[in-house]
A and B are shown apart, each in its own frame.
Chain A
């Protein structure tokens, strides 16, 4: 044994993994014979390594689902986002940054192919807007003073990371938010107010898909709404303004989510 490197934990780990050269392996074996307690531990670690491999082997043996076939994934990337009517697309030309792939943004736990009808979400959002913006005493459940709590709470209930965009550049400040039911699911409503007392709402609920759509405009009476789906969330921004006034606000919100939606920069 003269001149030989002493046995270290790296040797023992490589022994467990069966990655030692034959001569080193013999050296570790001899060492373990002299240290029965340690030999017992190493033996257990080898057993547990084997048990883990055996327990997980079924997964690698499964046939690959077709949605993971590279050809299918590449074809999907070349397809333009669905649900984009040409007229609307033209109206918001230059707005849609990011492809379907960019929208994938790492929010992978939201699965489910249920394509949500964007229009019905917009209808619910407009209804919620009408009911709550006129409310004097209790327009929101949680006030903006508790923004961190509000965002965290609504994210948990909606099941997706949300954030309340900063609209001070557009003259609106957050006054708070509330939780709403929407077709049996939870939706979040953020409410903003400008200096003139006009209120704007941003409605968000899980969209059930990672597909990305362009802006869709709707107006009911004097209320305007832009809706879109991004990163698995359906958004609707609603206010009592005309389309031309609302569009830059919707763009600002969209851009903020685009910026914070990057996984590496995510604030949430």
Chain B
């Protein structure tokens, strides 16, 4: 038990940051982290001993996030990319820091996968290999999608909302 705590607890700040970046709600983010940790504890034995704990935890958390999203965004039986992409209809952001807020608004203009990539690589400092594991895509795909995600964020920051609104609906 002490071993589990000693390995898991150092990961919690990063998991909370990723969860909040995805959800922008403190309570919901901690609920997601709690579910992630509970699942990790219950599946501790299934973790490969030499496996990458960090990638494993982020994978669990992202999958739980996507499951929640699917259930919440359920439209009949069909849930496609769009349902995942237009999730965050955020109004005013109480966390707003003047001048810094834009980058989060820009983040919302991206698809969930692009958002997760920018967060996992750019903020959580996962290696490209770890990010590939979490997203379940090949390494080469990580690089090209990262490139596209950053380009889109850049374009959004330059051009404002118009392009994004056109894209989403």
B68 & A107 in contact (Cβ 8 Å cutoff): yes
A104 at the interface (CB under 8 A from B): yes
Task: Tally chain A residues at the interface, Cβ within 8 Å.
Answer: 52
A69 & B143 in contact (Cβ 8 Å cutoff): no
A109 & B31 in contact (Cβ 8 Å cutoff): yes
A77 at the interface (CB under 8 A from B): yes
Task: Tally chain B residues at the interface, Cβ within 8 Å.
Answer: 62
When distances are taken between beta carbons in the complex, the residues of chain A under 8 Å from B71 are: 106-107, 161, 263, 266, 268
Given contacts A73-B38, A101-B38, A109-B31, contact A55 B9 (CB under 8 A): no
Interface of A is mostly: helix
B54 at the interface (CB under 8 A from A): no
When distances are taken between beta carbons in the complex, the residues of chain A under 8 Å from B81 are: none
B143 & A266 in contact (Cβ 8 Å cutoff): no
Question: Whole-angstrom distance from the CB of B58 to the nearest CB of chain A?
Answer: 14
When distances are taken between beta carbons in the complex, the residues of chain B under 8 Å from A65 are: 30
Question: Whole-angstrom distance from the CB of A100 to the nearest CB of chain B?
Answer: 9
Question: Whole-angstrom distance from the CB of B126 to the nearest CB of chain A?
Answer: 10
B134 at the interface (CB under 8 A from A): no
A48 at the interface (CB under 8 A from B): yes
State which residues 1-30 of A face B: CB under 8 Å. Answer: 9-10, 12-14, 16-17, 19
When distances are taken between beta carbons in the complex, the residues of chain B under 8 Å from A51 are: 100, 102-103
A148 & B76 in contact (Cβ 8 Å cutoff): yes
Query: Could you jot down 12 A-B contacts, CB within 8 Å?
Result: A44-B154, A51-B103, A52-B103, A56-B119, A61-B13, A67-B30, A68-B12, A70-B4, A74-B5, A77-B38, A108-B31, A111-B30
